[in-house]
Chains A and B, each alone.
Chain A
């Protein structure tokens, strides 16, 4: 296997599941995710989404960038890197986190897996090796990108627990949200974490690439009676908007990619204040975030319930006086919520009020454009939040 730094020598990469995802991809729709070839959709976006919300669906997560962080200073290093208190993430647990630059602007978000003593895996959508190495100055840590060394699948949806049980993972129902557990799988280790990006009951499976195809095959054997389907990024995108989750490059611009300093967002501006722990004496961005807390933020992120059935794609948000106060960052018609929903970034203080917000929506029917102004209602939390997501033991059917 090539060293991660030599990844550029190979222009197009395939995930360890490619033989299976290619066979399943009836639409032959692909796109490039961090150089890897991944499916937009396999057979029908709506049906893949429907399988996810009513049975279960599997998503090839392998291109997710995985960084392994080890060494005596792993914990202090991570506590300096991210805004939350990593000390509270016990071994065998997973935590969602964001990390910022010195200006307190979000570089990326990701999930941090506490694998064992002084042993962590940080998963993020963007490559972060450079930033992690920079942040490692003065710490005794080993940092390695291991994206290609771990094959990963997301198995999500109401019957996902049943599928894993039938795969032979004993006691899987007792696995709590944000916990992980190691199982034996055909002579290798299969790590299962109860995590995901869909806002539903679901799991992520982590295995050596050598066992990737076998895992896919066994999952589909076990999943057949539970309605398991493969799902591409389009269906995943729908589910994450319904869950109210944000996405790098869509709902915020990673700070290290921004040229214009006012285009980035702080954790407060992304409704992630709960992730910022000022109890820690130092983390990158702390000073700036304290200052922001004192002076007030420039933006806020809101989840909007938009009147009517037209997705408010790229819409301006107006206040009652017809002043533009923000823009929509992502939107969709939500089949589960039966509403048009959107995430939007509103400027402050102009967009401070929840009342009187309107979206100006342009939409097209057979090449004819129309415009509608739709009233918006600010919603707290996700648009879709079933109780099974948190239930322990998880429902097994």
Chain B
């Protein structure tokens, strides 16, 4: 045991593992405790049916912090990409698809004006998203500071925005709180183009294209690198992180759900497992979502009242479901050219379509015609399925966790609805299905212990962003409770497989910063 004492990380999601790896590399004694029998949390590859392995929840790695890969030497621990820089295919029911390759419209029935507008739009969005990308590796600024030193991060953020130059800065400030729909109406004519961007802006959120600050969530989605697939699925990344953590000396215990945090005189001093076992620690880092951490593991009574209220009001109602299919052949999407099956396919023919899909979610209903993001990872990574067969991984919106009537009663109905929708674009797909799994937000909550089944642990919107994420008072990874830190997607920089929250939290812990 090192002199500084043991650090327990609750949850072996990618952030928890990253945090553990950094802490262990700094010489700290680290124990990661995970409820599931495998590491990775929602970045995990699971066997759907014998011979078919599928990204259970997250499937694309566009946001992964490159610092992590380099600093932790993840490639030496088995991490590799199966495919880099996927194109985006906005599916058209009639087969007149639109293919986007980076900042270029590769093919599709769009006007010259739209093509050049898209090039300019995409380039600008990349520059603006760069401001957010630069914040990923930083601890967010404090809203109130007592020392001038605390004002530095805020000044840094302001400087980043200013350095965009006059035009871009003005545009950034003009559009950042806008609904993406309005920005798209300003910019393009082609419905497919608008639909594709609209879906990217709202994927994983409880927002529709006409909701405020969906330009921000779009920029957040762009604040990484190109769309990529890990070889072996996202679970392989988690395994590599776990391997890096272990190599640095961290211990990882699986199948050991944590029941509660232990407190001594107001200071967190360990965890109690559901088995009853107690594990002492000088520091506990929670990779669980903020509501689970504060309300279930700690107990709101151990917080001060205003902070407890903020946590209570943190919005985390998941609306994204996940459909995983094992197919006994190659799915045939109408109008898709050779090789395009391995790209990212979107069912979002129009921004209005996505907004229509969202409407019901406001009133606890699921979409009649959902918007879908599809990958067929077995195209680039044949090991995921037997030869000649495939796995299909689809994020489906909207499926609100608070569905009227409850998911247990309506899961199959929604799964069939999505299959029917896919059938429209890929006739014959349903006959190819060997196994199908629909994970609703309720299932995500049950299987991955995320409050409200929210992919991002907490809604991604301006009022829960950066220095407001998850809530003021815990936005710098330290919490008001001595000895307790957060390191999950509920913190800056938020959801998506980024890993920066874990990395930042480790730095804060090593610096010994209190909340």
Per the 8 Å Cβ criterion, residues 346-398 of B in contact with A are none
Q: How many A-B pairs with Cβ below 8 Å?
A: 51
A283 neighbours in B (Cβ, 8 Å): 304
Question: With A and B bound together, what is the CA distance between A134 and B300 in angstroms?
Answer: 11
Q: Tell me, yes or no, whether B263 is within 8 Å of chain A by CB.
A: yes
Question: With A and B bound together, what is the CA distance between A86 and B309 in angstroms?
Answer: 23
Instruction: State whether B299 touches A137 (Cβ < 8 A).
Output: no
Instruction: State whether A285 touches B312 (Cβ < 8 A).
Output: no
Instruction: State whether B301 touches A285 (Cβ < 8 A).
Output: no
Instruction: State whether A80 touches B305 (Cβ < 8 A).
Output: yes
A134 CB contact (under 8 Å) in B265, B295, B305, B473 = B305
Which B-chain residue is minimally distant from A131 (CB atoms)? B305
Instruction: State whether A287 touches B480 (Cβ < 8 A).
Output: yes
Instruction: State whether A137 touches B309 (Cβ < 8 A).
Output: yes
A88 to B: closest C-beta gap in Å: 18
Instruction: State whether B266 touches A138 (Cβ < 8 A).
Output: no
Per the 8 Å Cβ criterion, residues 441-485 of B in contact with A are 473, 480
Per the 8 Å Cβ criterion, residues 140-184 of A in contact with B are none
Instruction: State whether B300 touches A137 (Cβ < 8 A).
Output: yes
Question: With A and B bound together, what is the CA distance between A76 and B263 in angstroms?
Answer: 15
Q: Tell me, yes or no, whether A101 is within 8 Å of chain B by CB.
A: yes
Instruction: State whether B304 touches A284 (Cβ < 8 A).
Output: yes
B307 CB contact (under 8 Å) in A76, A102, A131 = A102
Question: With A and B bound together, what is the CA distance between A76 and B305 in angstroms?
Answer: 13
User: Interface size of B by Cβ–Cβ distance < 8 Å?
Assistant: 18
A-facing mask of B273-308, CB < 8 A → 1, else 0? Answer: 000000000000000000000010001111111111
B-facing mask of A72-84, CB < 8 A → 1, else 0? Answer: 0100110011000
Q: Tell me, yes or no, whether A286 is within 8 Å of chain B by CB.
A: yes
Which B-chain residue is minimally distant from A286 (CB atoms)? B304
Question: With A and B bound together, what is the CA distance between A81 and B304 in angstroms?
Answer: 9
Which B-chain residue is minimally distant from A99 (CB atoms)? B305
Question: With A and B bound together, what is the CA distance between A138 and B294 in angstroms?
Answer: 10
Per the 8 Å Cβ criterion, residues 227-243 of B in contact with A are none
Instruction: State whether A80 touches B307 (Cβ < 8 A).
Output: no
Question: With A and B bound together, what is the CA distance between A135 and B312 in angstroms?
Answer: 11
Q: Tell me, yes or no, whether A363 is within 8 Å of chain B by CB.
A: no
B303 neighbours in A (Cβ, 8 Å): 138, 282
Question: With A and B bound together, what is the CA distance between A135 and B305 in angstroms?
Answer: 5
Question: With A and B bound together, what is the CA distance between A113 and B318 in angstroms?
Answer: 44
Per the 8 Å Cβ criterion, residues 88-128 of B in contact with A are none
B263 neighbours in A (Cβ, 8 Å): 281
Question: With A and B bound together, what is the CA distance between A285 and B295 in angstroms?
Answer: 19
B500 to A: closest C-beta gap in Å: 27
Q: Tell me, yes or no, whether A33 is within 8 Å of chain B by CB.
A: no
Main secondary structure of the interface of A (DSSP, over half): loop
Instruction: State whether B301 touches A81 (Cβ < 8 A).
Output: no
Q: Tell me, yes or no, whether A14 is within 8 Å of chain B by CB.
A: no
Instruction: State whether B304 touches A282 (Cβ < 8 A).
Output: yes
Q: Given A138-B295, A287-B480, are A282 and B302 neighbors across the interface (CB < 8 Å)?
A: yes
A102 CB contact (under 8 Å) in B266, B301, B304 = B304
B305 neighbours in A (Cβ, 8 Å): 80-81, 101-102, 131, 134-135, 137, 284
A134 neighbours in B (Cβ, 8 Å): 305-306, 308-309
B-facing mask of A272-285, CB < 8 A → 1, else 0? Answer: 00000000011111
A177 to B: closest C-beta gap in Å: 30
Question: With A and B bound together, what is the CA distance between A287 and B473 in angstroms?
Answer: 12
Question: With A and B bound together, what is the CA distance between A348 and B415 in angstroms?
Answer: 67
Question: With A and B bound together, what is the CA distance between A76 and B301 in angstroms?
Answer: 8
Question: With A and B bound together, what is the CA distance between A285 and B306 in angstroms?
Answer: 9
Instruction: State whether B301 touches A138 (Cβ < 8 A).
Output: yes
Which B-chain residue is minimally distant from A134 (CB atoms)? B309
Question: With A and B bound together, what is the CA distance between A246 and B265 in angstroms?
Answer: 32
A138 neighbours in B (Cβ, 8 Å): 295, 299-301, 303, 308
Instruction: State whether B308 touches A137 (Cβ < 8 A).
Output: yes
A77 neighbours in B (Cβ, 8 Å): 301
Which B-chain residue is minimally distant from A104 (CB atoms)? B304
B300 neighbours in A (Cβ, 8 Å): 137-139
Q: Given A102-B307, A284-B306, A287-B480, are A139 and B265 neighbors across the interface (CB < 8 Å)?
A: no
A101 neighbours in B (Cβ, 8 Å): 305-306
A76 neighbours in B (Cβ, 8 Å): 301
Instruction: State whether B266 touches A282 (Cβ < 8 A).
Output: yes
B480 neighbours in A (Cβ, 8 Å): 287
Question: With A and B bound together, what is the CA distance between A139 and B301 in angstroms?
Answer: 7
Question: With A and B bound together, what is the CA distance between A269 and B312 in angstroms?
Answer: 31
Question: With A and B bound together, what is the CA distance between A134 and B311 in angstroms?
Answer: 11
A178 to B: closest C-beta gap in Å: 26
Instruction: State whether A80 touches B301 (Cβ < 8 A).
Output: yes
Q: Given A76-B301, A138-B295, A138-B299, are A281 and B266 neighbors across the interface (CB < 8 Å)?
A: yes
B265 neighbours in A (Cβ, 8 Å): 281
B307 neighbours in A (Cβ, 8 Å): 102
B295 neighbours in A (Cβ, 8 Å): 138
Instruction: State whether B301 touches A282 (Cβ < 8 A).
Output: yes
Question: With A and B bound together, what is the CA distance between A138 and B473 in angstroms?
Answer: 19
Question: With A and B bound together, what is the CA distance between A282 and B302 in angstroms?
Answer: 6
B302 neighbours in A (Cβ, 8 Å): 281-282
Which B-chain residue is minimally distant from A79 (CB atoms)? B301
A318 to B: closest C-beta gap in Å: 29
Per the 8 Å Cβ criterion, residues 46-77 of A in contact with B are 73, 76-77
Which A-chain residue is minimally distant from B301 (CB atoms)? A138
B304 neighbours in A (Cβ, 8 Å): 102, 282-287
Question: With A and B bound together, what is the CA distance between A131 and B299 in angstroms?
Answer: 19
Which A-chain residue is minimally distant from B267 (CB atoms)? A281
Question: With A and B bound together, what is the CA distance between A73 and B309 in angstroms?
Answer: 18
Which A-chain residue is minimally distant from B294 (CB atoms)? A138
Question: With A and B bound together, what is the CA distance between A281 and B268 in angstroms?
Answer: 11
B312 neighbours in A (Cβ, 8 Å): 137
Question: With A and B bound together, what is the CA distance between A73 and B299 in angstroms?
Answer: 13
Question: With A and B bound together, what is the CA distance between A137 and B311 in angstroms?
Answer: 10
B306 neighbours in A (Cβ, 8 Å): 101-102, 134, 284
Which B-chain residue is minimally distant from A283 (CB atoms)? B304
B308 neighbours in A (Cβ, 8 Å): 134-135, 137-138
- The CB with the most chain B CB atoms within 10 A, among A81, A101, A286, A287, is that of A287
Per the 8 Å Cβ criterion, residues 247-300 of A in contact with B are 281-287
Per the 8 Å Cβ criterion, residues 92-126 of A in contact with B are 101-102
Which A-chain residue is minimally distant from B473 (CB atoms)? A102
A388 to B: closest C-beta gap in Å: 39
B285 to A: closest C-beta gap in Å: 20
- The CB with the most chain B CB atoms within 10 A, among A77, A102, A134, A139, is that of A102
Question: With A and B bound together, what is the CA distance between A139 and B473 in angstroms?
Answer: 22
B147 to A: closest C-beta gap in Å: 12
A285 neighbours in B (Cβ, 8 Å): 304
Per the 8 Å Cβ criterion, residues 303-329 of B in contact with A are 303-309, 312
A286 neighbours in B (Cβ, 8 Å): 266, 304
A295 to B: closest C-beta gap in Å: 9
B292 to A: closest C-beta gap in Å: 13
Name 10 interchain pairs, CB-CB below 8 A, sorted by A.
Answer: A77-B301, A102-B304, A134-B306, A137-B300, A137-B309, A138-B303, A282-B266, A282-B301, A282-B304, A283-B304
If A138-B303, A282-B303 are given as contacts, then 10 extra A-B residue pairs at C-beta distance below 8 Å, sorted by A number, are A80-B305, A102-B305, A102-B473, A134-B309, A138-B300, A139-B300, A281-B265, A282-B266, A282-B304, A284-B306
Chain A residues within CB distance 8 Å of chain B: 73, 76-77, 80-81, 101-102, 131, 134-135, 137-139, 281-287
Q: Which 8 A-B pairs have the closest CB atoms?
A: A138-B300, A281-B266, A102-B306, A135-B305, A284-B305, A284-B304, A102-B304, A138-B301
